[in-house]
């Protein structure tokens, strides 16, 4: 039994959840998302909640049950509240700025890095060293944050680089004479 999969996904007021075969669509105040359930699970809407259940005899049912339920829950949370990731820049001269829909990064290289925000993702820069990424799709928000972090990962000797807010970077000891 999946501990996550057996819990129903509550559908709050103001959110419409519809199902057409294996495709689940969620529409809310922030937008609309859809997800195709794997063949190993089925879903149905009952009593204001969406219930995901495994298909009998399917080999991948155990693996897909909890994942499918979590994907539906993330869609419901995304269209009601949205998701947000915060990044911080550490290093002398490291800074970020928005130019229209393009994020301009100066990360100690000889050139600037320009990153165009994909559709459905809002990038904002409150301070030159703080980047905030928001959107309704949890996977897209996390992917954009990971791509931006990849430009200059935190290094272990001084801790310089792009890191998630609250991320702990273990600092190594340098060479000794």
What is the pLDDT of the chain when averaged over all its residues?
92
Q: What is the mean pLDDT of residues 72-81?
A: 93
Q: Does domain 9-80 have CATH number 3.30.413.10?
A: no
Q: Are strands 130-135 and 83-90 parallel, antiparallel or unpaired?
A: antiparallel
Cα 128 to Cα 25: distance, rounded to the nearest angstrom? 38
Cα 68 to Cα 153: distance, rounded to the nearest angstrom? 32
Which pLDDT belongs to residue 155? 93
Which pLDDT belongs to residue 57? 78
Segment 9-57, tens digit of pLDDT: 999 988 999 989 889 999 999 999 999 999 889 988 888 899 998 888 7
The architecture of the domain spanning 83-164 is Alpha-Beta Complex (3.90)
Which residues, listed in sequence order, are joined to residue 46 by a DSSP beta bridge?
49
Cα 20 to Cα 89: distance, rounded to the nearest angstrom? 44
Q: Mind spelling out the 3-state secondary structure of 109-166?
A: CCCCEEEECCCCEEEEEEECCEEEEEECCHHHHHHHHHHHHHCCCCCCCCCCEEEECC
The fraction of the chain above a pLDDT of 70, given in percent, is: 99
**pLDDT at residue 59 greater than cutoff 90:** no
Segment 125-174, tens digit of pLDDT: 999 999 999 999 999 999 999 999 999 999 999 999 999 999 999 999 98
Which pLDDT belongs to residue 162? 95
Of the pLDDT bands very low, low, confident and very high (cuts 50, 70, 90), residue 6 is confident
Helix (H) or strand (E) holding 80: helix 61-80
Alpha-carbon torsion 123, 125, 126, 130, what sign? positive
Residues of the chain with CATH 3.90.930.12: 9-80, 83-164
């Amino acid at each position: 039994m999946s501990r996550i999969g057996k819990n129903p996904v509550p559908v709050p007021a103001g959110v419409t959840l519809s199902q057409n075969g294996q495709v689940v669509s969620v529409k809310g105040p922030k937008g609309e998302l859809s997800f195709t359930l794997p063949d190993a699970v089925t879903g149905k809407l009952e009593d204001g909640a969406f219930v995901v259940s495994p298909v009998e005899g399917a080999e991948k049912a155990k693996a897909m049950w909890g994942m499918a339920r979590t994907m539906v829950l993330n869609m419901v949370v995304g269209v009601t509240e949205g998701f947000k990731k915060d990044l911080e820049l550490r290093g002398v001269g490291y800074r970020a700025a928005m130019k229209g829909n393009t994020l301009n990064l100066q990360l100690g290289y000889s050139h600037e890095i320009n990153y165009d925000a994909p559709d459905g993702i809002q990038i904002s820069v409150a301070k030159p060293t703080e980047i905030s990424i928001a959107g309704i799709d949890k996977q897209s928000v996390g992917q954009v944050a990971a791509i931006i972090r990849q430009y200059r990962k935190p290094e272990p000797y001084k801790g310089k680089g792009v890191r998630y807010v609250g991320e702990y970077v273990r600092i190594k000891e340098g060479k000794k004479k």
